[in-house]
Structure formats: structure tokens, C-alpha cells
């Protein structure tokens, strides 16, 4: 009887998953090929699809099935796929039934429209064009947080959506230690006599050749172009649509080589995770989904940084880059190029930031989100507060809103609570890479020969295949023997940048 109930639950969750896939393809099209004038109709489509998915997911029958299964043998084995699915569906169901259907539809319609206004506001660097939409989005996000309810700060209710089980109180200490370590490291780097020549990567680089180079790299990583595609957008992202359909998007800068390359590697890292999840046998169920957004981010950052910015990686790929970009790199030495790729320099744009300063970008956003949600910061005051904190962290005056508070897509999409997962991803990635080097002693030698699939397989076997079988912190403990820890990331930075900056 329990198995029949479980199979019924799987069928119902597949129906929900198909609606989420539809929602995903609508969002992907909106940011790639949809004509600008289609935004109003697209907002209604996305609102209705989200409403249907929410209605299916909160069907009382789902609750009945979960109640029956929670007392069955299928729920007893903590490590089994069935037990994990039952446990995580209960968590998701209990959260979703707290959201009124009209709030779900209004939220999705508003964020779809807000995205188009953000694109235009960013293009014109005019915050006033986006301000009324930010007011609406923040109001709706507050309503969601109130509906969910939580212990401690309201922000916890939103953070739990992206990082199950993680609380502000857990992050405060880790992030504070990380901030202190980063500040100390930046002081040492700023005082170093050796300065890499960053201009090497800031020359005219033909976009078509950038595309060829980037596609070759992500194919070497294991990205399957028969099960995925690479397109262009304003803000790079990855969309795991469903079995055999994972889409990544990048953004080309004709005057900088690394933007699109590292963006493509980053999104391909997300895609490799999506491609390895059990979406055929468990589509719509939690084990076909990533453990958390922070865990997902760890898979993109580990490819972008620990692999893509490493010496072994460029020992293989730099000669290929030289052949493609003879005019720009023909007379550049390996050491000069490697230094340019890893130069540490304060910059306005988060997605273009170096490894060391990147997390300061995240901490700034994290602080502002908490203030917005608590009401201490009003949406109309965001530009001034952003600029003041940016100067404090980076020592730079923000020149225009497009380089400041308008640069990220997240707030237009209502993704408040999402930003901390980027730093969590960086923390996890350092822990995983240290473990991978221990498990594969010749890993860096393999990378220097362009052999990246062995590392892909290590990630797949240790992280990808589990999906949401384990919570992120538990998965990290199983793989590395430790939970979230800032020390491996700082140790990685110290070793790498001490050598670069002498």
C-alpha cells in the first residue's frame, strides 16, 4: 500500500514539475529572444503558470499522501531516496500552503514586469525608473516572509527558501570571520610591490573567437551540447528546464577576454550539476533538485575559480588562446598572462570581480537586503546607502547606478535572500577542491593536460548524484568531514596570492 501511495505522490509531483519547466522556459525566452513589447503578455503567462503550479503543489491530496507515507517503512531509512523525498516534500509543502494563491500570482506577474523595467533602468543608469518596481517587489517579499513565518529575523524565512536549514545566526559569525580575513589579505596585496598587468586581458577581443574558445572549454568540462545550449543575455544564468534540456547564457565583452569565458565556465558548472541530477527517474521530486542554492553555486565557482583561474588550467589553454588571439596574446608570456587573469583590483561589477574582492560585493548586498526587509532602509534610499557602503568596502566612488545598485537582476526577480548563497558557494568550493586534491593526488597534472572529465566525475560522484538526498551542510560534512568553514577559502587565497604578489 505504501508503495502505491508513493507512486501516486511521484505522479502528482511530476505534474508540478512540468509546470515549473514551463515557467522556466518562459523565463529563459523572456531574457533571450522575446520581443520587448511582449513583456506584459509574458507577465500574465508566467503569473498563471506559477498559480497553476502552486495550486497543484498545495492540493490537499499531497498533504494526505505525505501524512500516510511519513508513518510508513519508506520514511524510516534516513539515507534512502524515498525517505529523503518524503522529508523534503513535507518541508516544501508546509511552506507552500502558507502562501495565498493570489500572492503567488501577483508576485510572479510583478517580477516579470519589474525585470523589463530593470533592464531599461540599467541601460539608462536611471534608478528612478526602477524605484517604483523595487517598492512593489520589496512589499511582496515582505508579505511572503510574513506568510512563511520564522524564528529570529524575517530574513530567515527567505534564506530558508534557498538554503534549507541555514539561519542568519549561523552566517553572522562565519561571514564576520571571512570579512576580517579578506580585509587583511587585501591590505597585504595593496601594499605589494609586484603588480600584474591587467591590461593584457583588457584589449579588443573578437566576440566570435571568444565564443569558439569558450565553447571548447566548456565542452572539455563535459558540457553536453546535445542536452544543452549556450546563448547570450544581459545577466548570465543557467536554466535547468528538464531531462535532456539545460540552458546556459553568457555575456560577451568585446574589450575583455575573461568576462564571457569565466561566465560560461561558471554557468557550465551549474549545468553539469543539473545534467547529473536524476531528472528522468525522479523528475519533480526533491532528489532531482540541487541540495541548495549555495551547493549549486559551489559547483559553478569551483569551475570558474579553482579550475578556470588556476595555473594548471592555463598551462594547457593559454597556447590555444594565443593561437586564436595572436594579435593580443602572441607576444605575452605565460607568467604575465596568468598574473593578469588573477589580478586583484577593486571594481564596480560583481560578476567581473576577482576572487578576493567578490565576497565583499556579496556582503554589501546581504547587509542591504536585511535592512530593506526590516524596514530600516527604504527602497528609494538604496542608491545612497549602496554608494556609501561601496566606498567603505572598496575605496571607490560609484560613478553611476548601472555600476551600482542597478547592476544585478536579483531584486527585480524578487530574489531577496539569495545573495548569501554566493558566498556559501565559495566556502563550499574551497572545501571541496581541497578534498578533491586529496582524493586525486595528480588532479592538477591532469588539468594541465586539459583532462577535466576526471574532476567532473569526482564532483558527480560525490555531490551531483545525491540531489537533495542530504541538506547542504550535511553533504559538505559527508564529503569533507566538516561543515561550513571559512578557513579553507582563506588558506586557498593566501597560498595563491602570496605566490602571485610575492
- Of the residues 88, 105, 267, 304, only one is catalytic, namely 267
Residue 237's beta-bridge partner residues?
249
Whole-number percent of the chain with pLDDT over 70: 100
Residue 234 has pLDDT above 90, yes or no: no
Give the per-residue pLDDT at 150. 82
Asked if 295 and 464 count as a contact pair (C-beta separation under 8 A), the reply is: no
Q: How confident is the model at residue 428 (pLDDT cuts 50, 70, 90)?
A: very high
Confidence of residue 203 (pLDDT cuts 50, 70, 90): very high
What residues does CATH 1.10.1370.30 cover in the chain?
168-501
- Report the range of poorest mean pLDDT among 181-190, 220-229, 359-368, 383-392: 181-190
Average pLDDT over residues 432-446: 98
- Please state, in angstroms and rounded to a whole number, the distance separating the CA atoms of residues 294 and 310: 22
User: What is the average pLDDT score of the chain?
Assistant: 95
The Cα–Cα gap between 382 and 402 comes to: 13
pLDDT the model gives residue 42: 94
When pLDDT is averaged across residues 200-225 and rounded to a whole number, the result is 97
Name the band, by pLDDT with cuts 50, 70 and 90, for residue 219: very high
Give dist(CA 150, CA 153) in Å, integer.
7
Strand 228-232 to strand 245-250: parallel, antiparallel, or no bridges (unpaired)? parallel
Total Cβ atoms within 10 A of residue 184: 12
pLDDT category, 410, cuts 50, 70, 90? very high
Q: Tell me, what's the pLDDT at 233?
A: 87
Asked if residue 28 lies in contact with residue 75, where contact means CB atoms within 8 angstroms, the answer is: no
CB–CB of 458/435 below 8 Å? Answer: no
Phi, psi of 246 (to 5 degrees): -125, 125
> Which residue matches cell numbers 583561474?
309
Residue with cell 540599467: 122
82 tagged catalytic: no
How confident is residue 79, by pLDDT bands cut at 50, 70 and 90? Answer: confident
Would you state the cell numbers that stand for residue 292, as one nine-digit string?
541548495
Q: What is the pLDDT of residue 43?
A: 92
Neighbours of 259 (CB within 10 A): 21
- Domain 168-501 fold is 1.10.1370
How high is the pLDDT of residue 469? 95
The pTM of this model reads 0.93
Q: Identify the band that residue 76 occupies on the pLDDT scale cut at 50, 70 and 90.
A: confident
| DSSP letter string, 229-281 | EEEE-SS-EEEEEETTEEEEEE---TT-SHHHHHHHHHHHHHHHHHHHS-TTT
Return the C-alpha cell found at 214. 569558450
pLDDT of residue 280: 85
Q: Which element (helix H / strand E) includes 228?
A: strand 228-232
Q: With left for phi above 0 and alpha for psi between -120 and 50, is residue 375 left, alpha or beta?
A: left
CA separation for the pair 396, 401 (Å, rounded): 14
Mean pLDDT of 165-169: 91
Percent over 90 (pLDDT), the chain? 92
Amino acid at each position: 500500500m505504501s508503495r502505491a501511495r508513493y507512486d501516486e505522490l511521484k505522479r502528482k509531483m511530476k505534474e508540478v514539475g512540468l509546470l515549473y519547466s514551463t515557467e522556466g522556459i518562459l523565463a529563459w525566452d523572456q531574457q533571450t529572444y522575446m520581443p520587448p513589447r511582449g513583456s506584459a503578455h509574458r507577465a500574465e503567462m508566467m503569473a498563471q503558470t506559477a498559480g497553476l503550479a502552486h495550486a497543484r503543489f498545495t492540493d490537499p491530496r499531497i498533504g494526505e499522501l505525505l501524512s500516510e507515507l511519513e508513518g510508513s517503512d519508506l520514511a524510516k531509512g534516513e539515507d534512502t531516496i524515498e525517505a529523503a523525498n518524503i522529508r523534503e516534500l513535507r518541508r516544501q509543502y508546509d511552506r507552500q500552503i502558507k502562501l495565498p494563491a493570489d500572492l503567488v500570482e501577483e508576485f510572479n506577474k510583478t517580477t516579470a514586469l519589474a525585470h523589463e523595467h530593470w533592464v531599461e533602468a540599467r541601460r539608462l543608469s536611471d534608478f528612478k525608473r526602477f524605484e517604483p518596481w523595487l517598492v512593489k517587489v520589496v512589499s511582496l517579499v515582505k508579505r511572503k516572509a510574513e506568510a512563511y513565518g520564522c524564528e529570529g529575523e524575517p530574513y530567515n524565512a527567505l534564506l530558508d527558501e534557498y538554503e534549507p536549514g541555514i539561519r542568519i545566526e549561523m552566517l553572522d559569525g562565519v561571514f564576520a570571520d571571512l570579512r576580517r580575513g579578506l580585509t587583511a589579505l587585501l591590505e597585504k596585496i595593496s601594499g605589494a610591490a609586484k603588480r600584474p598587468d591587467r591590461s593584457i586581458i583588457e584589449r579588443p577581443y573578437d566576440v566570435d573567437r571568444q565564443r569558439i574558445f569558450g565553447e571548447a572549454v566548456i565542452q572539455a568540462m563535459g558540457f553536453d551540447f546535445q542536452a544543452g545550449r549556450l546563448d547570450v543575455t544581459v545577466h548570465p544564468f543557467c536554466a535547468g528546464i528538464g531531462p535532456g534540456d539545460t540552458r546556459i547564457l553568457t555575456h560577451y565583452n568585446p574589450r575583455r577576454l575573461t568576462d564571457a569565458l569565466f561566465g560560461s565556465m561558471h554557468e557550465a558548472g551549474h549545468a553539469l550539476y543539473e545534467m547529473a541530477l536524476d531528472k528522468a527517474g525522479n523528475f519533480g521530486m526533491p532528489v532531482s533538485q540541487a541540495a541548495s542554492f549555495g551547493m549549486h553555486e559551489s559547483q559553478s565557482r569551483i569551475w570558474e575559480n579553482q579550475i578556470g583561474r588556476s595555473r594548471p588550467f592555463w598551462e594547457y589553454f593559454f597556447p590555444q588562446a594565443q593561437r586564436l588571439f595572436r594579435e593580443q596574446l602572441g607576444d605575452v608570456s605565460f607568467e604575465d598572462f596568468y598574473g593578469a587573469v588573477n589580478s586583484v583590483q577593486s571594481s564596480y561589477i560583481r560578476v567581473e570581480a576577482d576572487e578576493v574582492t567578490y565576497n565583499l560585493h556579496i556582503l554589501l548586498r546581504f547587509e542591504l537586503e536585511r535592512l530593506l526587509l526590516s524596514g530600516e532602509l527604504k527602497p528609494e534610499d538604496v542608491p545612497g546607502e549602496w554608494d556609501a557602503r561601496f566606498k567603505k568596502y572598496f575605496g571607490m566612488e560609484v560613478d553611476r547606478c548601472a555600476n551600482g545598485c542597478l547592476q544585478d537582476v536579483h531584486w527585480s526577480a524578487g530574489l531577496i535572500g539569495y545573495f548569501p548563497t554566493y558566498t556559501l558557494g565559495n566556502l563550499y568550493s574551497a572545501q571541496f577542491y581541497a578534498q578533491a586534491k586529496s582524493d586525486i593526488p595528480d588532479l592538477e597534472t591532469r588539468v594541465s593536460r586539459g583532462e577535466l572529465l576526471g574532476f567532473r566525475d569526482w564532483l558527480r560522484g560525490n555531490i551531483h548524484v545525491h540531489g537533495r538526498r542530504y541538506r547542504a551542510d550535511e553533504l559538505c560534512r559527508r564529503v569533507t568531514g566538516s561543515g561550513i568553514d571559512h578557513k579553507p577559502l582563506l588558506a586557498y587565497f593566501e597560498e595563491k596570492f602570496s605566490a602571485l604578489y610575492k
